[in-house]
Amino acid sequence: MNITQDFKNDTFASIENDEVKHAIGETLSLMKQFYDTPIVKYLDFSALYTQQIITCDDSYNVDIEINSYQQSCDKEKLYIIEDTLFDSLTKRNSNLVRFYAQYPIYGQKNNVLGVLILADLAPKTLIGSQKDQFVSFAQLLQAQLNKNVLDTQPKHVKKTHSLNNFVHIFSLAPVAFLIALVICSFSVLLLYTLEKKEQQSEYIAKTQQLRKTLFDALERFDNQALYITQKDKIVAGFLQSQESYTQKQLSDLVKTQVSDNLTYKGYVIFDTDYNQLALWSKNNFDLAAYGFNNWLNRFSTRANKQSVEVFTVADTAFLISEINFTNNSVYTLTAFDLSKFLNAIIGKLNTQNYNLFITTPQFTLGSRGELNVSAIPNSISAASNRFPPTWRLHVQPRSAIVPPKVSRYDLFKLALIGFAVFAFVYYFLRLPKRLHDEIKQKNKLILNRESLFSSSLDALPHGFAIFNSNEIPVITNDAFNKLFEQVTKNNSQLSYSQLISISQQYNIINHYKEHNKLANEHNQLIEIGFTDGRWITVVQRHTDFGGFVCYFRDETESHQKELLLAQVLEKSKQSNQLKDKFVARLSSQLNAPITSLQSIIALAKGNNSNSNNYLKEIESASKQLKSVAQQLVNVNKSDSDKLKLKISTINLNELLNNSADIVNKEAENTNLIINNKLNENEGIMSDEKLIMQLVLHLSSELLENSYKGLLTLNTELTYKDSKNYLSLNFLINNLSNKSHFFSQLKHIVQSENFEKMESIDATLEVKFFMSVFKMLGGKSININERGKTTSISLSLLVNVVALTNSKAENKQNIVHLTDNKAKTTSKSLLLVDDEPLVEMVIKAMLKNENLNVDYASSAIEAMLMVSQNNYDIILMDIVMPELSGTDAMLKIKKHSSEKQTKIIAHTSDSQGSSSAKYVELGFDDMLEKPVKQDVLVNKIRKLIEAENLIK
């Protein structure tokens, strides 16, 4: 019994393992297809679910190299090595693998089950979305493993309950907040203390330096004063050493002491009676002019004559002192320059950071002269021992020394640092808890990863499906399921071929075409037309593992516009064919009487010579009739290739009814109602196809941009200023404000720019509508909006005719439209280029060739001209506004598959692409701009010769 039970358990475990392996294989296949890489692998550490897809030549060595990278990387981190050749982790010894990425796969208990590996043989860069998608694939794989497998892998980390509890306590938000707040406060206080201490030290150092500078300056000041009074001692020594002397000797002694000193201006020696004993003065200095006798009198009246008296006038100072002898005494008066005196002090000091000033009761003197200030801010001063106490020496720092104070900037900086410390500590303490919550949250998201992945695919507006190598759908979205719901409702596991075959069998699909793909391309373009009118473009991408991915894009709107254009062109073609038949029949009818008339003329010439004058007139008339017949034959061959109005008599009632039938044919209900106020016997002369195209284009645009709108078209003829106008008034309800066509048309009408088509900045549909309107003689467009009703009125200039005889008269008028001769059997070429200068150059190059060269300035004009004419060669420019030359070529070949037209790409390819590239795109050949004449002529001749050989 136990053996049987064990056998059943093993069997069920084996089945579960197979299911898990299958799910892992599908995920790896999808991942390989998404990134288009040759190497994907899931490495299971239990060696139970390891799977890999390696599609390269040397898979064995590649696997060995991948395993070495995996062992070098941390198992619990995301690694993306864009180029292993330049990454230090790989030790720069990579031989095959150049790109490597891995992501850990966690179990239900947050243990690592394995790693998901993505690798390539070439360097690769994952953009943001691709990196996120790589993580999504890993989470999808993780959900598949955790859904079906019990997590039995043991943990290798020892449990440390005490440490975990300790970390858990510190990870709590209140505890982490308090600890972070304490550390933040301590850090801010410490920084504040250090900052204040540094400022205090700096303040003390600056103050001490300021005092030292003052003491040095004061010492220099006293020394300069002492130097000035040195001459008094020399004079005193001379007088004491001489028993007798003359004034000349004393004067010579004074001159030798002061003549070389730039500070002195003058020097005088007096006796006790104030008689002058010696005098010296600079040439430009007059002592007597300063009234020094008065100063001496004032000095003698002082009680203490031993002190020094100083008088100042402007920048000159006068120093009066007394020299005492044993029996006698003399007085001296010294005049010196205060500015030079101060500069002598400054010159002997290192005062680049300080300013020196001398203040007296009369003036304030600086290094640049006298200052008009009452006080010297931010300075310290001291009095001299040699000069009066009222004289003070000031030292001012050039940058004020302020007491230490923490500024707002310092407080803001400290607050910012404190906040950063708080945030860092709080984040660091909360990190274990945060990581635990994040892992827990990720595990919850991983369990729903498959449903999220499916819902993201279902959100795509177009169909999406992945098929395996057996063409069985592996992954599909809602848009794809709705597309084939009529087929898959009975069997959801139909292959791609079965889906298409059954859909065609039950007439669900009425058109299926696979376009040829290049040999080295993975993509293939398929067109599918459904019976209900839907038109789907399928991009089928084949993968390396045998399956393929299909993108089903709804192109119904664009296809309907192409069909409408094809219908208009087909009707134009039929109209031209009917005109050819009429011309041929009329020509044959005219040839018979003309031949008879020529025979009568020949007989009359032989029988009656008197009637020669009449015969000449009859013969001239016969030639004119024959010329008219020949012109009728060639009426469609002369200038018919140009886009111009083809005037004909139009039954407006029939034209509008036909237009309404076309518009209402595609709708379930009637959407266009015609109210025609024209007389049944009246018609208009205009271009029938262009008027129909104008009505159809505007009607379809208005109906497409309205919500359940009903369009009413009112027509009537008005007569104004001797001219007839056709009024077309379109009325519609619930027109969307988001309609680009209506908003741009409204802007053009309001700005009145429809007369200048080149200045209109609008979409292709609006430009085409305005071009047709202008060609038809459009005069005005009026737009009115009242509530939910929008009115668009068009006014066209027309000629009113009666319907009974208008057709015959119209066909007679065709004779006068052209006088061109019949074209020869020469080949025809259509030049398509948006640069008019190219037309002149190409036509000049081909003027000696037997070619009829027509010119189209845009791809749209070229398509219309090709629909009206048969061209042997089309020279197509690649880069054009509105529509590229490649798209125009594909559309021309699609709508003109029965014509043997050779299309040559004419481009200035800056990338230097060869003609093979354009041949692969669908062109027959390529010519590079600027083309040389011999190259152009030879290329065209070869194409024409090849076409003649085929014929």
Pairing of strands 902-907, 925-928: parallel
pLDDT of residue 586: 65
Report the candidate in 322, 328, 169 with the shortest Cα–Cα distance to residue 242: 328
pLDDT of residue 829: 92
Q: Residue 781, class by beta-carbon neighbours within 10 Å (0-12 exposed, 13-18 middle, 19+ buried)?
A: middle
Q: What is the mean pLDDT of the segment spanning 122-141?
A: 81
Split at pLDDT 50, 70, 90, the class of 842 is: confident
Class of domain 210-397 (CATH, top level): alpha beta
pLDDT of residue 7: 45
Distances (CA, A) of 947 to 457, 874, 938: 50, 14, 14
Residue-wise pLDDT for 422-437, tens only, equals 888 887 777 776 676 6
Tell me the two tokens of residue 248. 């000349």
Tell me the two tokens of residue 442. 């990720």
Least confident residue range of 627-631, 704-708, 800-804: 627-631
pLDDT of residue 171: 74
Task: With beta carbons less than 8 A apart as the criterion, state whether 464 and 456 touch.
Answer: no
Q: What radius of gyration, in Å, describes the C-alpha atoms of the chain?
A: 54
Least confident residue range of 603-612, 786-795, 929-938: 603-612
The yes-or-no verdict on residue 768 having pLDDT over 70 is: no
The yes-or-no verdict on residue 193 having pLDDT over 60 is: yes
Least confident residue range of 537-551, 590-604, 897-911, 929-943: 590-604
The yes-or-no verdict on residue 160 having pLDDT over 60 is: no
Residue-wise pLDDT for 587-643, tens only, equals 666 666 666 666 666 666 666 555 666 666 666 556 555 555 554 554 434 344 455
Q: What is the mean pLDDT of the segment spanning 434-463?
A: 66
pLDDT of residue 479: 86
The yes-or-no verdict on residue 821 having pLDDT over 60 is: no
Pairing of strands 264-270, 329-337: antiparallel
Residue-wise pLDDT for 173-185, tens only, equals 888 888 888 888 8
Q: Looking at per-residue confidence, does 317 or 275 come out higher?
A: 317
Name the CATH code of domain 824-950 (choices 1.10.640.10, 2.60.120.10, 3.40.50.2300, 3.30.1220.10): 3.40.50.2300
Q: What is the mean pLDDT of the segment spanning 352-376?
A: 80
Task: With beta carbons less than 8 A apart as the criterion, state whether 834 and 880 touch.
Answer: yes
pLDDT of residue 876: 92
Split at pLDDT 50, 70, 90, the class of 40 is: very high
The listed range with the strongest mean pLDDT (329-333, 396-400, 617-621, 735-739) is 396-400
The yes-or-no verdict on residue 874 having pLDDT over 90 is: yes
- Whether a cis peptide bond, with omega within 30° of 0, leads into 930 is yes
pLDDT of residue 617: 61
pLDDT of residue 29: 86
pLDDT of residue 596: 65
Q: What is the mean pLDDT of the segment spanning 664-686?
A: 76
Is the pTM of the predicted complex or chain greater than 0.95? no
The yes-or-no verdict on residue 149 having pLDDT over 80 is: no
Least confident residue range of 381-385, 798-802, 804-808, 894-898: 804-808
Residue-wise pLDDT for 196-253, tens only, equals 888 888 888 888 888 888 888 888 777 777 777 777 778 878 877 777 777 788 888 8
Architecture of the CATH domain 463-554: 2-Layer Sandwich (3.30)
Q: Looking at per-residue confidence, does 905 or 545 come out higher?
A: 905
Domains 210-397 and 641-806 alike in fold:
no
Pairing of strands 873-877, 902-907: parallel
Q: Which residues of 16-45 are buried (b: 16+ CB within 10 A; e: fewer)?
A: eeeebeebbbebbbbbbbbbebbbbbbbbe
Report the candidate in 339, 390, 384 with the shortest Cα–Cα distance to residue 362: 390
Q: Looking at per-residue confidence, does 141 or 169 come out higher?
A: 141
Task: With beta carbons less than 8 A apart as the criterion, state whether 640 and 580 touch.
Answer: no
Split at pLDDT 50, 70, 90, the class of 873 is: very high
Q: Which residue intervals of 752-828 are DSSP H helices?
A: 764-775, 806-813
Element (H, E) at 658: helix 652-665
Beta bridge partners of 877: 906
Split at pLDDT 50, 70, 90, the class of 530 is: very high
The yes-or-no verdict on residue 727 having pLDDT over 50 is: yes
pLDDT of residue 4: 42
pLDDT of residue 875: 93
Q: Spell out the SS3 assignment of 696-720.
A: HHHHHHHHHCECCCCEEEEEEEEEE
pLDDT of residue 102: 92
Count CB atoms within 10 A of the CB of residue 341.
Answer: 20
The yes-or-no verdict on residue 786 having pLDDT over 80 is: yes
Q: What is the mean pLDDT of the segment spanning 433-460?
A: 64
Instruction: Kindly compute the dihedral angle of the four CA atoms of residues 401, 403, 405, 410, in this order, to the nearest 10 degrees.
Output: 20
Name the CATH code of domain 16-148 (choices 3.40.50.300, 3.40.190.150, 3.30.450.40, 3.20.20.450): 3.30.450.40
pLDDT of residue 130: 79
Q: What is the mean pLDDT of the segment spanning 262-285?
A: 78
The yes-or-no verdict on residue 128 having pLDDT over 50 is: yes
The yes-or-no verdict on residue 154 having pLDDT over 60 is: no
pLDDT of residue 830: 92
Q: What CATH topology corresponds to 641-806?
A: Heat Shock Protein 90 (3.30.565)
Least confident residue range of 87-96, 403-412, 899-908: 87-96
Task: With beta carbons less than 8 A apart as the criterion, state whether 393 and 356 touch.
Answer: yes
Task: With beta carbons less than 8 A apart as the criterion, state whether 682 and 699 touch.
Answer: no
Report the candidate in 119, 116, 156, 167 with the shortest Cα–Cα distance to residue 139: 116
The yes-or-no verdict on residue 117 having pLDDT over 90 is: yes
Q: What is the mean pLDDT of the segment spanning 763-775?
A: 72
Q: What is the mean pLDDT of the chain?
A: 77
The yes-or-no verdict on residue 815 having pLDDT over 60 is: no
Alpha-carbon gap, residue 528 to 555, rounded angstroms: 10
Task: With beta carbons less than 8 A apart as the criterion, state whether 766 and 741 touch.
Answer: yes
Split at pLDDT 50, 70, 90, the class of 156 is: very low
pLDDT of residue 152: 42
Alpha-carbon gap, residue 745 to 763, rounded angstroms: 10
The yes-or-no verdict on residue 868 having pLDDT over 80 is: no
Give me the residue spans of the domains in the chain: 16-148, 210-397, 463-554, 641-806, 824-950
pLDDT of residue 5: 47
Percentage of the residues of the chain whose pLDDT score is greater than 90? 4
